[in-house]
Each structure stands twice: as C-alpha cells, then as structure tokens.
Amino acid sequence: MDFNSLGNGSPFYILTKHPGQKPTLAVGTVKEKVALQPQYQLGSIPSAYAGMNQPQNIRFIVTINGSDRTVPDLPSTGEIAQKGDEIFTGSQQAIVQAIDAMMQTSQAELDRHDFNVMTIEAGKEMMGVVNPQYAAAQQQEKNIQDLQKRQDEQGKMLKDMYAMMQKIAAKQ
C-alpha cells in the first residue's frame, strides 16, 4: 500500500536504527495526511506541462502512544521510505521485510566473527615468519601475560593460605 493510499486511522510504522543503539519500532496511526505540491525548478518545465508526471510528497501527522508526531515529507507513490536513521511505512508487509533485512545484516556480521578471529591469528603467524622482530615482540608479550597469570594465581594462593592460618589461629 503506497503512502497516497493511507488515510486517517491507517497503521503507520517507524523503524529507528541509530548507529550503536538498539533499534526501536514505533507503531501508530495516521491522524492527518497533507499532500504537498511538487517542487519545480524554474525554467526546467514548460508551463503547459507544469504538474504533470511530477512526484508529489505527502506529510503525515501520526499518533504514537498518545503523542502526535510529524513525519517528514514522503513520496506519495512509495510504500516505504528511509530518511536518515528512520524507515517509514504504512505497510505491515514492508516493515516485516525491513526488520528481516536488518536482522539478516546483523546475523551476517556475527557469522563473520569466527572468520575474522581466524584471519587475525593466521596473520600473526605469517608476520612471525616474515618479520623476526614481530615474532620476538609477540613472544615477549605472551611471556609477560604468562608471568602475570602466574603471579595472580600465586597471590590467590597466598590469600587462601592466610585465610586458613587465621581460621586456625582463631580456633586456638
């Protein structure tokens, strides 16, 4: 259903996808629809043809959770439109497709995680082969991490031993 076919009381969906934030879906109803005149460039269209085949925009006022919101100008012949980080539609099927596409994109990114980890590890191995200094620096980093891990384990053991000695001393 294109935007021109929507009337008062029609469902309206707004999917918001701000980078780095959880996507949100607002579901409302059309309160008011205002057809806007096409924008012309002076001199580009002969006056006899003015208004013919020119795309018209529609502005909606949508009620969402009891509040009115003005939706930016949308193409009258479109079914779904994106403005910035928001997707607008009056079609349930179109919003389902938009949500599905969003989820598929994220799933594809997740599926690439293991590949990217494997690629980084392989790259480190290759760098060690072609650059002995890189290999030495990596080995030194690994040795430092191992020493820190051992030190942490020893510290935990000492704390446990101290706690045991306090319990024994308290019983005496």
Segment holding 26, helix H or strand E: strand 24-36
Looking at the fold, whether 98 and 15 belong to one and the same domain comes out as: yes
Count CB neighbours of 37 within 10 A.
9
Q: How many CA atoms lie within 13 A of 40 on its CB side?
A: 13
Average pLDDT in the 149-169 region? 93
pLDDT value, residue 146: 93
Average pLDDT in the 3-28 region? 95
Residue 15 resides in a domain: yes
Looking at the fold, whether 18 and 66 belong to one and the same domain comes out as: yes
pLDDT value, residue 172: 79
The pLDDT tens digits for 26-84 are 999 999 998 876 655 555 555 555 555 566 899 999 999 999 999 989 998 999 999 99
Looking at the fold, whether 70 and 137 belong to one and the same domain comes out as: no
For residue 43, what are the CA distances in angstroms to 39, 82, 86, 149? Answer: 12, 30, 34, 76
Looking at the fold, whether 94 and 140 belong to one and the same domain comes out as: no
Looking at the fold, whether 100 and 141 belong to one and the same domain comes out as: no
Looking at the fold, whether 54 and 138 belong to one and the same domain comes out as: no
pLDDT value, residue 160: 93
Instruction: Give the residues across from 36 on adjacent strands.
Output: 57
Residue 90 resides in a domain: yes
pLDDT value, residue 91: 95
Looking at the fold, whether 85 and 12 belong to one and the same domain comes out as: yes
Looking at the fold, whether 101 and 138 belong to one and the same domain comes out as: no
pLDDT value, residue 51: 52
pLDDT value, residue 102: 96
Residue 127 resides in a domain: no
Rounded CA-CA distance 99/131 in Å is 47
Residue 124 resides in a domain: no
Instruction: Give the residues across from 67 on adjacent strands.
Output: 64
Tell me the one-letter amino acid at 78: G
pLDDT value, residue 22: 95
Rounded CA-CA distance 106/112 in Å is 10
Looking at the fold, whether 43 and 100 belong to one and the same domain comes out as: yes
Residue 112 resides in a domain: no
Residue 110 resides in a domain: no
pLDDT value, residue 56: 86
Structural domain of 9:
3-105
For residue 158, what are the CA distances in angstroms to 163, 167, 169? Answer: 9, 14, 16
Number of domains within the chain: 2
The pLDDT tens digits for 92-144 are 999 999 999 999 999 999 999 999 999 999 998 898 889 888 888 888 988 99
Looking at the fold, whether 150 and 101 belong to one and the same domain comes out as: no
Residue 14 resides in a domain: yes
How high does pLDDT run on average in the chain?
A: 89
For residue 129, what are the CA distances in angstroms to 47, 112, 123, 141, 168? Answer: 73, 26, 10, 17, 55
